[in-house]
Amino acid sequence: MKKLFLFVLTAVLFTSCISDDSIEEQEFYFEILPIEQVFLPETFTYGEIYQIEYNYYKPTTCYSFNELYYLIEGDFRTVAVINSVFEENDGLICEPLNEELEWRVFNFECTKNFGSYIFQFWQGQDSNGNDTYLTYEVPVE
C-alpha cells in the first residue's frame, strides 16, 4: 500500500506542476475507493485473456474514475481503484449518489501454465489502519 500511496503522491505532484494559463484550472485530488465485488473465473488457462469485472461505490458526482492501480509481485496481483475528486466550486456542484455502483472491467492475460494467481482487491482500512483486501486464489489449468 506504501507503493500505492507513493504513486498517488507522485501523480498529484506531477499534475500540480503542469500549468497552462489559457485553461481554467479545476481543483481536484486523488482518492482510493474500496472495491465492493469482483467476478473472477474459477480457473485460468495459459495464454487466454479474461475480462475481470469489479465494482465500487462513487460517493458523489464529483468522483471520476482515474485509473486502476495494479501491482504485480510474483503470483500476487494487488488491485485498487483510484478516482479523481473534483472540488465543488461556482461551476460545479457535487450531488450525492445513493449507493450507486460503478462497474468496470480490466483484461487479465494468463501468462503461466501452472500454479495459481492470488488477487488482492483493496477494501479500505480496518480500525487499526491496516489495509484490508478481498482475496481470491485462481488456479491455472
Sketch the domain layout of the chain as residue ranges: 31-139
User: Which amino acid, residue 42?
Assistant: E
User: Which amino acid, residue 125?
Assistant: Q
By residue count, the chain amounts to 141
The third-level CATH classification (topology) of the domain covering 31-139 is Immunoglobulin-like (2.60.40)
Read off the pLDDT of residues 52-88 as tens digits, 9 standing for 90 and up. 999 999 999 999 999 999 999 999 999 999 999 999 8
Instruction: Determine the Cα–Cα distance for residues 14 and 109; give it in Å rounded to an integer.
Output: 30
Percent of the residues in the chain that have a pLDDT greater than 90, as a whole number? 75
Residue 26's nearest CA partner among 34, 16, 37, 40 is 16
pTM for this one?
0.79
Residue with cell 485462481: 138
User: Above 80 in pLDDT, residue 21?
Assistant: no
Residue 120's nearest CA partner among 63, 69, 83 is 69
**pLDDT at residue 52, rounded to an integer:** 98
Q: What is the average pLDDT score of the chain?
A: 88
